[in-house]
Chains A and B, each alone.
Chain A
C-alpha cells in the first residue's frame, strides 16, 4: 500500500471553471466520497458536493470519476486510481449548479415527459387489484423498478448528450415498467410519449446505461421492449386504442 498522497483533480466552477488539484492522504478502504469529504472538511470548505446515505442506497453521491459516472460512496479509490491520480467532475449531461452538484430538474422532468408515473382508476372503496406476481408482465416490471433516479445512466448516454430532448434511459425504463403495470390507465398517452425522436427510437443500443447502472438495471432491455410495443401499436393498433 503506497503512502504517497493522492493527487485529486476536482472540478471547481459552474459550466465554466477549472480543475483544481488537491493532495489527499491515502487510507486503506478509502472511497472516492471519503476523498471528496476530506477535501471539503480539511482543505477547501468552499467545495460543493452532494451525498446522503453514504452506503450505496440513495444515489445522491453520483459523480464523474476518471471520466465514468459512478456512485462515489461505492467506488473504492484502489479500484479506479490511475497511478496516484484521480479526476472528479460533476455528472455529465446535466447543468452544473456549482462544482460537483448538478441540476437534476431536467432529469426528473423527463420522467414526467415519458409518463413515468402511475395512475390507476380504483378507489379505496374498490377491492384490491389482483396482480399475479409470476406473470410475465409483473416479472418484466420488477426487472426495472428498483431505479432510484441517481442519474448515472442519463449521464453516461451519448444520445442524451447529442439530443437535448431525448427522454433518456431512466425515464424510458420507468415508462416500460409502467406499461407492464396492469393497473395503470394511461398506457396510450405513455406509448405516444415514448415514441419518436425524443423517445425510444432515438436509442442506438450503445449500452452505456446498462454498463454503468449501479443497481444492475438494464434500460437497454426496457427500451427494446418499448420499441417493440410501440411498433406493434403503430402498425396494428394496441389494446388501449390507436396510437
Chain B
C-alpha cells in the first residue's frame, strides 16, 4: 500500500519548466552573492592599496570559480528575465522557447568569454 502518485519529473520535463528552474536557482544564488560583492567593493573606501589587499583575498581558486559561475548565472537570469518580461508585457507569441535556448547559449558564451578574457 502506498500513497497515490503526485506530479513528478515526467510532468515537468519540458523547456518552460526548465527555464523556470534555471531562473529561480540563478536568482537565489545571485541574491546571496550580491551583498558579498558590495561588501568587497566597499573596501575601496580604504583606499587603493588596502582595497587591493582585500581583493587579493579572492585569489583562491574557489573565489575565481565562484566569479565565473556567477557571470554565467547572471547571463542566464538576464536573458530568462527578458523572456518573462516579453511574455508578460509583450504580444503573446507562445512560451518563447527560442528565448530559453538563447539564455542557455548566452550563458555558455559569457562563461567562455570570461575564461578567455580573465587571466
Tell me if B49 is interfacial: C-beta within 8 Å of chain A. Answer: no
Distance of A100 Cα from B7 Cα, bound (Å): 15
Candidates B6, B11, B92; contact of A69 at CB < 8 Å: B11
Let me know if B88 and A211 touch, CB within 8 A. no
Candidates A16, A67, A155; contact of B2 at CB < 8 Å: A16
Let me know if B11 and A206 touch, CB within 8 A. no
Distance of A210 Cα from B96 Cα, bound (Å): 12
Interface size for B (C-beta < 8 A) is 25
Let me know if B87 and A66 touch, CB within 8 A. no
| A89 smallest CB distance to B (angstroms) | 5
Distance of A207 Cα from B97 Cα, bound (Å): 11
B-contact bits for A218-243, CB 8 A (1 contact / 0 none) = 10110010011000000000000000
Let me know if A15 and B87 touch, CB within 8 A. no
| A166 smallest CB distance to B (angstroms) | 13
In this complex, what residue of B is CB-closest to A89? B5
Distance of A208 Cα from B12 Cα, bound (Å): 7
B-contact bits for A170-200, CB 8 A (1 contact / 0 none) = 0000000000000000000000000000000
On whether A207 and B4 interact (CB within 8 A), knowing A221-B92, A227-B88, A228-B88, the answer reads no
Name the residue in A18, A205, A211, A224 with the highest tally of chain B Cβ atoms < 10 Å from its Cβ.
A205
Distance of A82 Cα from B3 Cα, bound (Å): 23
Let me know if B11 and A67 touch, CB within 8 A. yes
Tell me if B89 is interfacial: C-beta within 8 Å of chain A. Answer: yes
Let me know if A220 and B3 touch, CB within 8 A. no
Tell me if B1 is interfacial: C-beta within 8 Å of chain A. Answer: yes
Distance of A180 Cα from B112 Cα, bound (Å): 47
Let me know if B87 and A224 touch, CB within 8 A. yes
Distance of A204 Cα from B17 Cα, bound (Å): 9
In this complex, what residue of A is CB-closest to B24? A204
Chain B residues in 8 Å Cβ range of A31: none
- Stretch from A41-49, A50-58, A90-98 at the B interface: A90-98
Candidates B10, B88, B89, B95; contact of A67 at CB < 8 Å: B10
In this complex, what residue of B is CB-closest to A227? B88
Tell me if A161 is interfacial: C-beta within 8 Å of chain B. Answer: yes
In this complex, what residue of A is CB-closest to B90? A224
In this complex, what residue of A is CB-closest to B14? A211
Tell me if A21 is interfacial: C-beta within 8 Å of chain B. Answer: no
Let me know if A66 and B10 touch, CB within 8 A. yes
In this complex, what residue of B is CB-closest to A211? B14
B-contact bits for A1-28, CB 8 A (1 contact / 0 none) = 0000000000101111110000000000
In this complex, what residue of B is CB-closest to A102? B4
Let me know if B10 and A16 touch, CB within 8 A. no
Candidates B4, B17, B88; contact of A16 at CB < 8 Å: B4
| A188 smallest CB distance to B (angstroms) | 23
Tell me if A156 is interfacial: C-beta within 8 Å of chain B. Answer: yes
Tell me if B8 is interfacial: C-beta within 8 Å of chain A. Answer: yes
Name the residue in A14, A96, A207 with the highest tally of chain B Cβ atoms < 10 Å from its Cβ.
A207
Q: When A and B form their complex, which 9 residue pairs have the shortest distance between CB atoms, in order from nearest?
A: A67-B10, A207-B16, A221-B92, A206-B20, A207-B95, A224-B88, A206-B17, A92-B7, A211-B14
Known contacts A11-B4, A220-B95, then 13 further A-B pairs from the complex at CB < 8 Å, ordered by chain A residue: A13-B4, A18-B1, A92-B6, A92-B7, A92-B11, A96-B4, A161-B6, A207-B17, A207-B19, A208-B12, A208-B16, A221-B92, A224-B88
Which residues on B are within 8 Å of A, measured CB to CB?
Answer: 1-12, 14, 16-17, 19-20, 24, 84, 87-89, 92, 94-95
